[in-house]
Structure 1
């Protein structure tokens, strides 16, 4: 009776130990699968490390083919855990790379925009400089034309002055000639008056020519 009881107890303990080992094995599989499921369902990280996730699931499947008491089980459990860790780390690394690349693109876009703004500012400054140069050239042309007009006006005034001098000189000559003629006329009139005064006021008679005597025989 006692022997039968001992055998029954030993069998129960063996079954319990086997069940505990199976439960432990199932717990490891569920833990690793849950970790992978959490990674794959992540809206960001789930898109990365697809190959590493596949290798981790394959390692879990290989581990599930052995019982916990098998010597391969411990090694395969370690490999499966490392595969899961590698999948997580690779997903985080690829996400960091993607974010870094995005930051680089944004930085390049900022530099490009800054370069475009610098070019736009330089273009506006160039246009402003050109407008100022155009204004300076127009002002210089206006001043030059004003100088030409002033020179022409001065030349015309000089010519008109010379002409006025010539007219004045001609008028002076005419006036001098008129004065001389007036003086001559006055002198002639005075001479006539003097002659009339010396003749007693009568007009002088012209003496008749003498007749020549004829001689005999002529």
Structure 2
């Protein structure tokens, strides 16, 4: 009876020790699986480092094949923990790399847009400069044409002035000639009047003398 009790106690201790070992083994495996599951389910970095996550999962499965007191258990546990750490680090690195690539793309897009805006601004400035040059050329052509018209008007005014001067000179000559002719006519008329006045006195005396002679003859005959 006493011997049976001792055997039962030893068996209970062995079962308890085995349960404790199994619980310890499950705890390490569960901890690593939970850490790896948390990584794979992360919405930000869970899709990265798939190869590293697969290696970490294999290492955890190798840990589960050994008991905690076995020498291989500690070795594979260390490897599994490092594989999980590497998977996390690689996922974070790839996420940062993807974000950096996205930032580079956004930066390139910004530079491209800035270049496009610079090109558009340069095109607008060139178009504005072209329009200004065209306006300047048109204004220069207008001023040149206006200068030509002014020159022509000046030449025409000079010609008309010269013609008016010539007409005025001709009119002055005609007026002078008319004055001279009028003066000559007046002189001729005066001379004619003077001549007529001189000739008119002599004939008047001649008939009177004849009458006197006739009177004398009549007187003589009467006597």
TM above 0.5:
yes
Contact 1:196 1:202 in 2 (8 A): no
| Whole-Å separation in 1 of the counterparts to 2:5 and 2:199 | 214
User: Which residue number corresponds to residue 113 of structure 1?
Assistant: 113
Matches within 5 A, 1:10-49: 10-49=10-49
Correspondence 1:129 to 2:126: no
Task: Give how far 1:143 is off.
Answer: 2.5
Task: Give how far 1:177 is off.
Answer: 2.0
User: Which residue number corresponds to residue 64 of structure 2?
Assistant: 64
User: Which residue number corresponds to residue 214 of structure 1?
Assistant: none
Task: Give how far 1:44 is off.
Answer: 2.0
Listed one character per residue, the Cα deviations across residues 31-68 of structure 1 (whole Å, up to 9, x for unaligned) are: 21222122112222111000000101111122222233
Listed one character per residue, the Cα deviations across residues 115-170 of structure 1 (whole Å, up to 9, x for unaligned) are: 32233333333333333333333333333222222222111111100000111111
Task: Give how far 1:178 is off.
Answer: 1.8
User: Which residue number corresponds to residue 207 of structure 2?
Assistant: none
User: Which residue number corresponds to residue 182 of structure 1?
Assistant: 182
Task: Give how far 1:202 is off.
Answer: 6.8
- Secondary structure of 2:69 counterpart: coil
Listed one character per residue, the Cα deviations across residues 11-30 of structure 1 (whole Å, up to 9, x for unaligned) are: 32222112211121122122
Matches within 5 A, 1:90-169: 90-169=90-169
Listed one character per residue, the Cα deviations across residues 177-206 of structure 1 (whole Å, up to 9, x for unaligned) are: 222222222232233223323323578xxx
Query: Superposition RMSD on alpha carbons, in Å?
Result: 2.1
Bigger mean CA deviation after superposition, 177-186 or 150-159 = 177-186
Structure with the larger helix share? 2
User: Which residue number corresponds to residue 209 of structure 1?
Assistant: none
Cα 1:171–1:28 shift into 2, 3 Å: same
Bigger mean CA deviation after superposition, 70-79 or 118-127 = 118-127
Bigger mean CA deviation after superposition, 49-58 or 102-111 = 102-111
| Whole-Å separation in 2 of the counterparts to 1:90 and 1:200 | 159
User: Which residue number corresponds to residue 218 of structure 2?
Assistant: none
Contact 1:33 1:57 in 2 (8 A): yes
| Whole-Å separation in 1 of the counterparts to 2:199 and 2:26 | 184
Cα 1:140–1:28 shift into 2, 3 Å: same
**How many residue pairs end up in the alignment?**
203
- Secondary structure of 1:46 counterpart: coil
